[in-house]
Amino acid sequence: MKLPSFKDLILFENDEVIIVNKPPLIASVDERSGGEVNMLRLAKSYWDDAQICHRLDKETSGALIFAKTPESYRSISMQFEHRQVKKVYHAVIDGTHAFEDKLVDLPIANLGKGNVVIDKYEGKRAETIFNSIKFYKHFTLVECQPKTGRMHQIRIHLATQRASIVADEMYGGRYPMLSSFKKGYRLSKDEVEQPLIRRFALHAYEVSFKLLNEQEITITAAYPKDFATLLKLLDKFDA
């Protein structure tokens, strides 16, 4: 995979923060295996004192905030801690689901090694609001607003609604195949069909928070190519 230039990913920058549109399949920070390029390393190559203010799963794309100063880092960290940062994600899910301000309030327990479960006794409170944006015959584009920041929160909360994100095998999502909904789709004898997207279709679409001067900013991150292509194909063949 060709590594992007960090500068080309920047959506907003001032003396306090850098907000980038994180590509899919690049980790936010060092993984246990080590050695791989990640967003924090890329940020520090651009700005030595950059600190990451939150994390996105490796497969998740979208808006990611870095602080340029200790003061900014403290301020944004406190806003996250007090649930004052508004985060909006978009996801493509299996099936048709009419969510209208649907609140999922189910506690999540972190078992370690990237595994979480819904646990009403040992879990920590987790809340997500879901709204359907667009309906297809076999899929739905949904808006997800996590009010808390638990690991895999959006993914596992959608799975509890029998609305797993496409290609999210960990939580029951299926890889979307064009043959499953395009009429007359045929492969030649030697062809092997490839999924329409190779990672779970979750994108951090928008983030809002306050700068040190109390000015609120809202930054929107455009869909990456794979997510946009998936929606284009659904618009054409599954609407």
Strand partners of residue 67? 17, 51
Write out the two tokens for 201. Answer: 């279709």
Helix (DSSP H) and strand (DSSP E) numbers for the chain = 5, 12
- Please provide residue 75's backbone torsions phi and psi, each rounded to the nearest 5 degrees: -60, -50
User: From the candidates 15, 48, 57, 226, which is the catalytic residue?
Assistant: 57
Our answer to whether residue 168 is catalytic in this structure is no
User: What Cα–Cα distance (Å) separates residue 79 from each residue in 31, 99, 122, 125?
Assistant: 26, 28, 25, 18
Backbone angles phi, psi at 21, to 5 degrees: -95, 95
Q: Which residues contact 74 (CB under 8 A, 6 or more apart)?
A: none
For residue 129, the cross-strand partners are 103, 145
Name the residues annotated as catalytic: 57
